[in-house]
Amino acid sequence: MPDVRLINVTKRFGKIIAVDHVSLGVSDREYVTLLGPSGCGKTTTLRLIAGLAQPDEGEIYIGDKLVTWFPPEDREVGFVFQNYALFPHMNLWENTTYGPSVKAWEEERIKRIANEMLGLVRLAERKDAFPHELSGGMQQRAGLARALSAGTNLLLLDEPLGALDAKIRTELRYELRRLVKDLGLTAIHVTHDQEEAMTISDRIVVMRRGAIEQIGTPEQLYLAPKTPFIANFIGESNFFEGSMMKVGRETSIVELRGGLLMEVNWTGLKEGDRVLIAVRPENIKLESYAPADLNFFPGTVERIRFIGGILRHEIRLVNDDIVTSRVPIEAEKKFEVGGKIAITLDRAKVHVYSYPKEGLREAIRVE
Amino acid sequence: MPPGGFEKRKIIASAALIAVLVSFLVFVLMPTIYIVSFTFTRWDEIYSEVFANPIIASENWFQVQSVLFFSFRIALFTIAFDFIFGIPLAYLLARKKFLGKSILEDIVTLPLVIPTSGFGFATLITWTTVSGLGGLFGFKSGLLNLADRIPLLNIPFLIFVVHVGLTLPYVVLTIRAKLQELDPVFETASRTLGAVSSTTFRRIVFPLALPGVFSGLVLAFARSLGETGATMVVAGVSTTGSIAIVRWVFEFKFGTASFLGCLLVVIAWALILPVEVLLHRKHRFSISRSPLKTIGMEGRFLSFEKFISRRLYYVKDVVSITVIFAIVVVPVVVVLNSIFPYWFHDPYTGRFEGGVIYQLFGPSNYFGALSRATLTSFTVAAISTYIAACIAIPLVYVIKRYRFGTLIRSILKIPLIVPTSALGLSVLLLWGPQGLGMVNPGIWLIILTHIVFSVPVITEPTIAAYEGPEILSYEESARTLGATSYDVAETISLPLLKRGILAGVILSFTHSLGETGATFIVMGSDLTVPTLVVNMVEALAIPAALFSSAYLIAIALVLLAVFRFLTRR
């Protein structure tokens, strides 16, 4: 029932365009994350959906109702806040029953739903406690129970795990998703943490500078990033700058700095075009040293780091580019810092972009 | 650091601390509470004067009772009115952005800087003369008579209007400060849970802002009980507690006056201390459960609130702004506007004796009196502000450094809320001929009186500036970089506090220029401008009073502009 549609929505704050002609559809029972660096407009978008701000242009639908000008109390949404926003002068029970009670539901129904929700978030025992007596994780679970008790099927979450400790954050992540799925809710979740977005979402909407950069499942975003920004922001990428040397039927040859040559799949770019190539660290394979060849670049190991199960190598190539590679710790070949090495690339696992006009640094900047 | 240097510093530090505490004791605390000890030590005399007078028996006691009840009734209805119209204004100023917000802020602050007798006179001519609202609506006389009372409440209308005008800023500014420190996210949360704005206000904002509401109302109540200057101008035959003190002092009924003064001081103290305790307690006192639910009215009330939130949202704002406009802005405009027709002659009778020029420069020579009064006023304001600043600034340090600081801070609130005439009487009794006999009524006694309330007027904004979370961390980082506590004070704290101190100094200067009630009692023959206005009104020299009030208000407006400029962010 609650599918959400935004059509060409724009929100300005003075001269700043916080949300720039955003169109977005969220289906019923879908868990969607708005992901982006701070200041990208994700929170503003969420506030527009909740009615906490009004758009300057565009339309917002919840279900089949046009709600663009509805006040928040008429939108039937549940909102979960980063800092919980539990009413400090009320205990958990009063917080949880607040929504139903201002909607003047019957006493019996209020009691039933509040008990049910507090039970779902495992806080039934603590219903007499005041917010300041609870831990952060408990407070956020209570915030969830309070939002759900108001009888909504659409949950809007504004950095709900942002204020929690790392360990609790990961635990609550799974709990949140399970709850949403069990209750059959639609959830729109705002976060700047890409790992959180990857683990929790059905679909991720990556926003940047007020606009949507890419929408897709976590897998799609990781495996097929549409822009250098996504390639860098979701996971990690090595970037190579170069130009199209030879365009063939199925493959093309790109000349990188220092005359290194890379074969890539056909892209539609013309000979002489400047390109940017992104490669995930796990797609860089390490080999013993040999002279340069197609997709085979020699270099020196600069640094090796151990990151739980993975060895991260930083390698300075012969053209002075630095690339990062990740290999499982039990890999057959071992290398040492300062030693000669070479890397190989699989042309199916690299992403080729037309070189951004604003330059690489600007194109991937997370501001 | 050599140990000797350390010892020396310790001695200097304790000497400085003692000096600050002694001056606080002598210049602020003793004058404030002397009236209480006076009443106890001279109890026999006072008893015979108040309760067992050989001629009139306990008539004086009946008078004390009747003026006290009268004052209480006024104060009670004043704060009820403040409550109704102050809360929307406070919310508006704390949460909304709109065109002309800074003007509204100025209007709300105006009564704090305007000399009270000038304000009283402005209200008087606005409501009761043809130059005011009467003329505007085309009547041949004023809208009201001086003696007109509000039906049912049985309070003189003008006293009520003046008290609302002078107390509303306390309510609005206190509640606004509390609302600003309250995170708006609770309101947002309530809205997303389905509560309309008025329900949100009743169930969330109001309970959480309750300490602010409470202390604002208590301050306003105390101010209303103690208001003297403006009340004297508009009172006519009515007598409030604070005016009674002035009258009785002039009738040499010191016993009765000091007994009443003592009662008023104790009441003020009894009001403010519980509030202080409540405000400094960590745990909030609040209503979490709607009281309406207990009586089963919640449901009906919710639909009523839905109705007003949808249909009448702006009505409360418009009404409140209109009220403050009528009470504060209109009188100021009327006074400034009426000088011109009165300049050469009375515009209605045409007699030049009724003109400003004749009264100022004619046989009564009010111009000479006004010039002398101006000189006195500015001298008093400058000297008392200077001395008060010398006491107040180190005192802020003491308040922030030592554990007994909170106690000092609470005590400092008292001079601001005791009736000014009681304060004047207390100072007179302490330093004057009846007491220590060190200072006779006149300019020096005025200065001693003004120091008492100037110290807290300066400390409050300074403490507020200190309480920004940053200053402490700047001080700490300066310490870690190797600065001694003296270096820190000089290079970090004082420059950062400059704005707060300046604001306090200007407020104190303004306050001293406008103070009427206490000055009346201690001035002897050295009149200040506000007391001169009262005398002019009593001598029915209306054009001269008009000119002097306009002159006072103009000075206050200039000082307000300076204040705004300095406290601007």
Q: Which residues on A lie below 8 Å from B209 (Cβ)?
A: none
Contact assessment for residue B426 and residue B493, using Cβ atoms and an 8 Å cutoff: no
Gap from B403 CA to chain A (nearest CA, Å): 26
Cα-flanking dihedrals φ and ψ of residue B343, to 5°? -60, -55
Instruction: State how far the Cα of A49 lies from the Cα of A34, in Å rounded to an integer.
Output: 12
Instruction: State how far the Cα of B162 lies from the Cα of B126, in Å rounded to an integer.
Output: 12
Q: Is B350 left (phi over 0), alpha (psi -120 to 50) or beta?
A: left
**Closest by CA position to A4, among listed A68, A81, A72:** A68
Give residue B295's pLDDT. 63
Give residue B138's pLDDT. 67
Give residue B135's pLDDT. 67
Q: What is the pLDDT of residues A211-230, one digit of tens each?
A: 999 999 999 999 999 999 99
Instruction: State how far the Cα of A357 lies from the Cα of B5, in Å rounded to an integer.
Output: 66
Q: Does the beta carbon of B281 lie under 8 angstroms from any beta carbon of chain A?
A: no
Map tokens 């330059």 to a residue: A359
**What is the mean pLDDT of the segment spanning A31-60?**
93
Give residue B490's pLDDT. 77
**What is the mean pLDDT of the segment spanning A106-123?**
92
Give the nearest partner residue to A89 out of B192, B193, B284, using CB atoms.
B284
Average pLDDT of chain A to the nearest whole number: 91
Map tokens 């060895």 to a residue: A311
End-to-end CA gap in chain A: 36
Per-residue pLDDT of chain B (569 residues; tens, 9 = 90+): 445 566 777 888 788 889 889 999 888 888 888 888 888 888 877 777 777 777 776 778 888 888 999 999 999 999 999 999 999 999 999 998 888 888 898 899 888 888 888 899 899 888 887 777 766 776 766 667 766 777 767 788 899 999 999 999 989 988 998 898 889 999 999 999 989 988 999 889 998 888 888 888 988 998 898 888 889 888 877 888 888 888 888 888 888 888 888 888 888 888 877 776 766 665 555 566 666 666 667 777 888 888 888 778 788 889 999 999 999 999 988 888 888 877 777 777 777 777 777 777 777 778 888 889 999 999 999 999 999 999 998 898 888 878 888 888 888 888 887 888 888 989 988 988 877 878 888 899 999 999 999 999 888 888 877 776 667 777 778 888 877 777 777 777 777 778 788 888 888 998 898 888 889 888 888 889 989 888 888 888 888 888 888 888 888 888 888 877 776 65
- Cα–Cα separations (whole angstroms), residue B524 to A79, A92, B439, B443, B531: 67, 64, 11, 8, 11
Interface test with A, best of B183, B192, B293, B311 (most A CBs within 10 A): B192
DSSP 8-state assignment for residue B539: T
Contact assessment for residue A367 and residue A361, using Cβ atoms and an 8 Å cutoff: no
Q: What is the pLDDT of residues B489-531, one digit of tens each?
A: 777 777 777 878 888 888 899 889 888 888 988 888 888 998 9
Q: Does the beta carbon of A89 lie under 8 angstroms from any beta carbon of chain B?
A: yes
- Helix H, strand E, coil C: the string for B513-531 is HHCCHHHHHHCCCCCCHHH
| Residue A40, both tokens | 């990208």
DSSP 8-state assignment for residue A355: P
Q: Which CATH class is domain A239-363?
A: mainly beta
C-beta neighbour count of B22 within 10 angstroms: 11
Q: What is the pLDDT of residues A151-195, one digit of tens each?
A: 888 999 999 998 888 888 998 999 999 999 999 999 999 999 999
In CATH terms, is domain B1-31+348-569 a member of 2.102.10.10? Answer: no
Q: What is the pLDDT of residues A52-85, one digit of tens each?
A: 999 999 999 998 899 999 999 888 899 999 999 9
Q: What is the pLDDT of residues A233-269, one digit of tens each?
A: 998 899 999 999 988 888 899 999 888 999 999 888 8
Q: Which CATH class is domain A4-230?
A: alpha beta
- Domain positions in chain A: 4-230, 239-363
- Contact at CB, A147 and B192, closer than 8 angstroms: yes
Give residue B162's pLDDT. 93
Asked if pLDDT for residue A115 goes beyond 60, the answer is: yes
**What is the mean pLDDT of the segment spanning A25-48?**
93
Q: What is the distance, to the nearest Å, from the Cα of residue A195 to the centroid of all Cα atoms in its chain?
A: 7
Q: What is the pTM of this model?
A: 0.84
| Residue B486, both tokens | 């003296």
Instruction: State how far the Cα of A224 lies from the Cα of A216, in Å rounded to an integer.
Output: 9
- Contact at CB, B195 and A90, closer than 8 angstroms: no
Q: Which residues on B lie below 8 Å from A104 (Cβ)?
A: 298-299, 302-303
Handedness of CA A48, A53, A56, A59 (dihedral sign): positive
Helix axes B494-514, B366-401, angle to 10 degrees: 140
Task: Among 3.90.1150.180, 3.40.50.720, 1.10.3720.10, 1.20.1730.10, name the CATH number for the domain at B42-94+101-338.
Answer: 1.10.3720.10
Instruction: State how far the Cα of A72 lies from the Cα of A51, in Å rounded to an integer.
Output: 4
- Contact at CB, A91 and B288, closer than 8 angstroms: yes
Tell me the DSSP string of A334-348.
---TT-EEEEEE-GG
Quick check: ipTM above 0.90? Answer: no
Contact assessment for residue B27 and residue B16, using Cβ atoms and an 8 Å cutoff: no
Give residue B229's pLDDT. 86
Question: Parallel, antiparallel, or unpaired for β A16-26 and A4-13?
Answer: antiparallel
Q: Which residues on A lie below 8 Å from B186 (Cβ)?
A: 85, 87-88
- Contact at CB, A102 and B192, closer than 8 angstroms: no
Instruction: State how far the Cα of A291 lies from the Cα of A35, in Å rounded to an integer.
Output: 42
Q: Does residue B155 sit in helix, strand or coil?
A: strand
Question: Between residues 17 and 56 of chain A, which touch chain B (CB distance below 8 Å)?
Answer: 50-52
Domain with CATH 1.10.3720.10 in chain B: 1-31+348-569, 42-94+101-338
Give residue B400's pLDDT. 80
